[in-house]
């Protein structure tokens, strides 16, 4: 499981003419899933995300978590995070989990994130063509891969 976390002052997801997700201060999370991902990956990653100290304290030092600042979260499925680009110029997405595996893991990830955060997490729509807008605050962008957690 791989995520790109972006600390945002605002973010939204648009699908067609609908805007299913809008937040202010918080995190925009792009989530990529592979077939080898497990519930243990979800538990470790969601705990890491809500406790990661990447928000400023009163002295401007990154010392607070999204939970500490009562921030919001949007999660967007992003199979392209697992693109293989070594050969040729067309990325291969063969490592990305197929929907029958990815959707339940995606839904479980969002549910566990809500439990750890203590509030509703907004989402895009799995598999949909989406437009994601954000104002990256800092900018702060962090990549976490559960295959590199040790």
Catalytic residues: 78-80
What ranges make up the beta strands (E) of the chain?
A: 2-15, 18-23, 26-32, 55-56, 62-64, 72-77, 122-123, 131-145
- C-alpha 92/C-alpha 115 separation (Å) is 34
- C-alpha 74/C-alpha 33 separation (Å) is 16
Q: Within its chain, how far is the Cα of 17 from the centroid?
A: 23
Token pair recorded at residue 36: 């080898």
What is the per-residue burial (b if ≥16 Cβ within 10 Å, else e) of 29-46? bbbbbbeebeeebbbebb
- C-alpha 128/C-alpha 103 separation (Å) is 12
């Amino acid at each position: 499981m791989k995520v790109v976390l972006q600390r945002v002052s605002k973010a939204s997801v648009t699908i067609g003419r609908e805007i299913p997700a809008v937040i202010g201060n918080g995190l925009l999370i792009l989530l990529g899933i592979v077939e080898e991902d497990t519930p243990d990956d979800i538990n470790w990653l969601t705990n890491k995300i809500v406790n990661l100290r990447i928000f400023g304290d009163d002295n401007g030092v990154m010392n607070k978590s999204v939970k500490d600042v009562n921030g919001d979260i949007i999660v967007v499925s992003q199979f392209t995070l697992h693109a293989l680009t070594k050969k040729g110029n067309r990325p291969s997405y063969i490592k990305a989990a197929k929907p029958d595996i990815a959707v339940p893991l995606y839904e479980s990830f969002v549910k566990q994130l809500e439990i750890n955060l203590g509030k509703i997490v907004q989402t895009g729509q799995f598999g949909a063509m989406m437009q994601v807008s954000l104002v990256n605050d800092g900018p702060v962008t962090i990549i976490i891969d559960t295959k590199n957690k040790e």
